[in-house]
């Protein structure tokens, strides 16, 4: 596995905290609504940290489609970025793929850079041999933006997306643990202060 990418972690936490701060108001919120905001913050945080990848943009666009997400999204991305990403007609195809592959070198294999050129006939045959059509269909539905990708790009995107998901899970686990400890400590403090009063 690749070495931990600290800038990804930092970016994720920054956006996540922003989302929690802006989106969660525990007084008025229902459990489900709070959960929805937490999950949205986590996904946007992951997408922002994964900036440059096709899945990152596709994920943001997916969430931007829902009316109730728009306010938080605009705050988390900043208006300029929000508008440029959600602008229709932005190329979400091979040309874009080639552009971002060049920038994402540090997190993906170097052969992806070369690979992001036109798939010729020989390449298609090689790929078809290795990747079953049925399986890639499922994978395409699981990786955000996967539908529009050729098999080779899909592989690279999947690798990056899986690494990002793993980091998202790890950081959310960390957050859960820290809050559990602080909750527990708070309960003990409350209990102790009540006992003193008796």
Partner 1 sequence: MSSRRSRITEDEINELISKLQSLLPEARRRSAGRASAAKLLKETCNYIKSLHREVDDLSDRLSGLMATMDTNSAEAEIVRSLLQS
Confirm or reject binding of residue 84 to partner 1 (CB under 8 A).
Answer: no
Question: Considering only residues 84, 93, 95, 182, which one is a binding residue for partner 1 as defined by CB under 8 A?
Answer: 182
Per DSSP, which regions of the chain are E strands?
Answer: none
Residue 113 beta carbon to partner 1: minimum distance, rounded to whole angstroms:
11
CA 85/CA 183 separation, integer angstroms: 38
Interacting positions 3-22 with partner 1 (CB under 8 A): 10, 13, 17, 20-21
Residue 164 beta carbon to partner 1: minimum distance, rounded to whole angstroms:
10
Question: Considering only residues 31, 89, 192, 195, which one is a binding residue for partner 1 as defined by CB under 8 A?
Answer: 31
Confirm or reject binding of residue 64 to partner 1 (CB under 8 A).
Answer: no
CA 36/CA 42 separation, integer angstroms: 10
What CA–CA distances, in Å, run from 137 to 74, 75, 148, 154? 32, 34, 11, 11
- Cβ contact 14:35 at 8 Å: no
Nearest CB to partner 1, comparing residues 83 and 190:
190
Q: Of 31, 1, 42, which is closest to residue 168 (Cα–Cα)?
A: 42
> In the numeric block, which tokens belong to residue 186?
């708070």
- Encoded one letter per residue, x for contact with partner 1 by CB under 8 A and - for no contact, window 121-140 reads xxx--xx-xxxx--xx-xx-
Angle of helix 151-197 relative to helix 121-130, nearest 10 degrees, comes to 50
- Cβ contact 72:25 at 8 Å: no
Confirm or reject binding of residue 92 to partner 1 (CB under 8 A).
Answer: no
DSSP code, position 2: P
Total residues at interface with partner 1 (CB under 8 A): 64
Confirm or reject binding of residue 174 to partner 1 (CB under 8 A).
Answer: yes
Q: Of 27, 32, 55, which is closest to residue 148 (Cα–Cα)?
A: 55
The residues binding partner 1 (CB under 8 A) are 1, 10, 13, 17, 20-21, 24-26, 31-32, 34-35, 38-39, 42-43, 109, 111-112, 114-115, 117-123, 126-127, 129-132, 135-136, 138-139, 142-143, 152, 155-156, 158-159, 161-163, 165-166, 168-169, 172-176, 178-180, 182-183, 186
């Amino acid at each position: 596995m690749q070495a931990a990418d600290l800038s990804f972690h930092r970016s994720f936490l920054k956006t996540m905290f922003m989302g929690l701060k802006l989106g969660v108001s525990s007084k008025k919120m229902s459990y489900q609504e709070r959960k929805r905001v937490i999950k949205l913050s986590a996904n946007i945080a992951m997408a922002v940290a994964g900036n440059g990848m096709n899945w990152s943009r596709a994920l943001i666009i997916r969430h931007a489609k829902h009316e109730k997400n728009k306010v938080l999204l605009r705050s988390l991305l900043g208006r300029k970025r929000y508008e440029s990403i959600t602008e229709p007609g932005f190329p979400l195809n091979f040309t874009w793929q080639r552009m971002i592959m060049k920038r994402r070198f540090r997190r993906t294999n170097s052969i992806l850079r070369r690979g992001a050129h036109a798939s010729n006939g020989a390449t298609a045959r090689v790929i078809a041999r290795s990747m079953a059509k049925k399986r890639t269909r499922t994978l395409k539905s699981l990786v955000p933006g996967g539908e529009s990708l050729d098999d080779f790009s899909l592989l690279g995107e999947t690798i990056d997306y899986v690494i990002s998901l793993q980091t998202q899970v790890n950081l959310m686990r960390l957050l859960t643990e820290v809050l559990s400890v602080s909750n527990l400590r708070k309960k003990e403090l409350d209990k102790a202060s009540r006992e003193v009063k008796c």
